[in-house]
Amino acid sequence: MTKLRHAWLIMAHGNYPILERQIRFLDSENADIFVHMDADGFPFEQYRALAKKSTVTFLPRKKVFWGDLSQIECELRLLEAAAERGYDYYHLLSGVDVPIKSRSYIENYFSERNGTNFVKFQSPTIGAHDLARVKYFYPLQKWNIRNRFARAAVRELTVLPQRIAGVNRTKKHPGVVFQKGTNWFDITDGLARYVLSQKDTIRKMYRSTCCADEIFLQTIVMNSRFVNTLTPYAFDDDFRACCRYIDWKRGNPYTFGNEDFDELASAGPDHLFARKFDYSAAPEVVDRLFALFGESAET
């Protein structure tokens, strides 16, 4: 089987023990690791030295605000840094993702499906509520209000006068079919380079939008030839399309605990990583999963 080259792109802002284990787990002669750590005082050299086979690159830190254009900018910067070297696949992970398959299984999974793009869509047609994320202006998005009720109130107050005035930013892009899904992805070199070729347009379209990191990639794919390279279950409701095990029924999303180990260890063949985890609250499940699917699973 052909060995592909992988770029692992990690967006992290805490949970250092998980990032440490991610780097050790992903370390391979077939892969390199690119990390954006949004935290002060991080021991970069210590973590860079964890990998013995992969090159670990830490991007210069730029502050990332939840739901803001800065999230998209971070993804583009990670893609750009990796594309300079060239890989077969580019995988976006968060710093709270944990593998639920072995590294060899994961690498073989993509070798067997080479050319397929793993991008998750929420539904065949974007709903009005989600389209509003890019239809109106959200100049206060960087406030990063933690309380979800206060956050919703601020957004509604921002949108209401625009709705009355008939604002609709999407009219500037006639013919574009907007879409929504999950921002975590596993994409080919061809799609990665196509996304980067659109970066100026992306910045213009999604400036002062709300949570467009779940919209921009799906919209690009839906309006390009790459729509024909998706998995046949791209619109299913189980996150297989982005190779993740995520539970939105028990949380936003649910944070897995120690009691969920058996459920995670027995997840289906298309679920390669699970999210999300909080090491300070439930270290045992993280340690057990990395122990089960780590180096011992490769021998």
Nearest to 294 by CA among 29, 55, 23: 23
* pTM (two decimals): 0.95
- The Cα angle at residue 207 between residues 181 and 87, in degrees rounded to 5: 55
Q: Phi then psi for 69, rounded to 5 degrees?
A: -55, -25
Q: Encode the chain (299 residues) as per-residue pLDDT tens digits.
A: 778 999 999 999 989 999 999 999 999 999 999 999 998 889 999 999 999 999 999 999 999 998 999 999 999 999 999 999 999 999 999 999 999 999 999 999 999 999 999 999 999 999 999 999 999 999 988 877 778 788 889 889 999 999 999 999 999 999 999 999 999 999 999 999 999 999 999 999 999 999 999 999 999 999 999 999 999 999 998 999 999 999 999 999 999 999 999 999 999 999 999 999 999 999 999 999 999 998 644 43
Tell how strand 6-12 and strand 244-245 pair up: unpaired
**Residues 141, 127: Cα–Cα separation, whole Å:** 21
What count of residues does the chain have? 299
Contact between 18 and 278 under an 8 Å Cβ cutoff? The reply is no
CA angle 187, 188, 189 (to 5 degrees): 125
**DSSP of 174-228:** TT-----B-S--EEEHHHHHHHHHTHHHHHHHHTT-SSGGGTHHHHHHHTSGGGG
**pLDDT for the residue numbered 295:** 61
Rounded to whole angstroms, the Cα distance separating 73 from 81 reads 12
Query: Pick from 64, 68, 88: which is nearest to 10 by CA?
Result: 64
Domains, the chain: 6-124+180-197+229-298 (3.90.550)
Element at 56 (helix H, strand E): strand 56-58
